Structure 1
Amino acid sequence: MSGLAMGSSELLHHLLIDRAIKIVIVVAALGVVALGMAVIWRWAGRPRDRRD
């Protein structure tokens, strides 16, 4: 493999790893937002003195 092909292979590997890390960060952030929304929805969605 020539030096240019090896360099582009390493660059491609780096870019794929970078993209995977960014996807994991976004998915984790969406999970935290969803969890926070669910907690707020349950906490603020019902009056405290209401009995079912």
Structure 2
Amino acid sequence: MTGLGAESSDLLHHLLLDRAIKVVIVVLALGILALGMTVIWRRAGRANKRLD
């Protein structure tokens, strides 16, 4: 029975690690998206000021 418990523990560890990796990827992607939007927003703001 210890083999079955160890397999279940390994599977749980693998699933939690997989979930953590996916969360980190999503957070990094959102950070890069926010940075890109900020840069575009600032450059668009400068272009609007030049037209005035």
TM-score after normalising by structure 1: 0.85
Partner of 2:30: 30
Partner of 2:14: 14
1:45 deviation in Å? 1.9
Deviation readout 1:4-40 (Å, 9 max, x if unpaired): 1000000000001000000000000000000000000
Q: CA RMSD in A?
A: 1.9
| Structure richer in helix, relative to its length | 2
Kindly tell me the number of residue pairs found equivalent between the two proteins. 51
Structure 2: gaps of 5 or more residues: none
Structure 1: gaps of 5 or more residues: none
TM-score after normalising by structure 2: 0.85
